[in-house]
Amino acid sequence: MSEAKPELPRRERQSAARANQILDAAAALFAERGFHRTTTRDIAEAADVAEGTLYNYFANKDDLLIGVLQRLSESIETISAPMYQISTDARAYFTALLEVIQSVQEQNLVRILAILSEIMANAELRARFYSQLVDPGIQALERNLKPLTANGQIRQADTAGLARLLASFFIGLFFLELLGDPVVSNDRNRIDEVSLSVIFDGIIAKNQEDQSR
């Protein structure tokens, strides 16, 4: 449960703790009311430090977002690390994938919202978000899909395309939940079932398919 950085000098540990305390406060406020509607004063208050102190840890307000992104990035790596070995059985893999994604969302919701609040308006943030989080995620997906395709469990040969398709779906699902769609928000199991069904069998009825063979 404690961070696995045992050997830092006390000074640095305290400093890192303070920085995290600030980032957590900032993330919570950004998530709640957006980056621009959050003032540095708000953040300082929530983090229980003086406004000037923020600037001992971060170059400016934008830098706080970068910091939140960093923490998010680290957290996701930790959570999703175990996934990199399971990809031997397709059913097992996709089932696990849904779970891991949901777990990432739950544990990092605030950070994700914080970043999303400004992602459209900040090109640098957008680029970092893609290269630090989205792209690595897609790469990981590809890495895991490849053996499944190689051993014939996945028919679709375009692994890169398939990874994008799956990523899109997950991203979109998150967004629908954000928007408060009642089915996605309150009936997630149902969505998961439909997803697995489509992943495994497609949408189109097989009878018809069989007939057409």
Which residues of the shown chain bind DNA in the complex (CB under 7 A)? 11, 14-15, 18, 36-41, 49-57, 60-62
176 near a second copy, rule: CB under 8 A: yes
Task: Locate 199 and state its tokens.
Answer: 């992943």
> Whose Cβ is closer to a second copy: residue 37's or residue 48's?
37
Alpha carbon distance 189, 57 (integer Å): 42
Q: At 153, give phi and psi (nearest 5°).
A: -80, -25
88 near a second copy, rule: CB under 8 A: no
Q: Which of 12, 36, 81, 88 binds a second copy (CB under 8 A)?
A: 36
Binding partner at 18 among DNA, a second copy, none, C-beta below 5 to 8 Å by kind: DNA
Give the shortest CB-14-to-a second copy separation in angstroms. 18
What is the dihedral sign for C-alpha 192, 194, 197, 198?
A: negative
Cβ burial 147-177 (10 Å sphere, 16+ → b, else e): ebbeeeebeeeebeebbeebbeebeebbeeb
Alpha carbon distance 126, 120 (integer Å): 7
Binding partner at 52 among DNA, a second copy, none, C-beta below 5 to 8 Å by kind: DNA
121 near a second copy, rule: CB under 8 A: yes
Residue type at 81 in one-letter notation: A
CB 169 within 8 A of CB 137: no
82 near a second copy, rule: CB under 8 A: no
Alpha carbon distance 50, 109 (integer Å): 27
> Whose Cβ is closer to a second copy: residue 2's or residue 207's?
207
Q: Site for a second copy (CB under 8 A): how many residues? A: 66
Residue with tokens 């969302």: 105
Q: Which of 48, 82, 88, 161 binds a second copy (CB under 8 A)?
A: 161
Residue span binding a second copy (CB under 8 A) among the ranges 13-21, 69-77, 100-108, 192-200 = 192-200
What is the dihedral sign for C-alpha 150, 153, 158, 161?
A: negative
Q: Which residues bind a second copy (CB under 8 A)?
A: 33-37, 90-91, 113, 116-118, 120-122, 126-127, 129-130, 134-135, 138, 152-156, 158, 160-162, 164-165, 167-173, 175-176, 178-181, 183-184, 187, 190-191, 193-195, 197-209
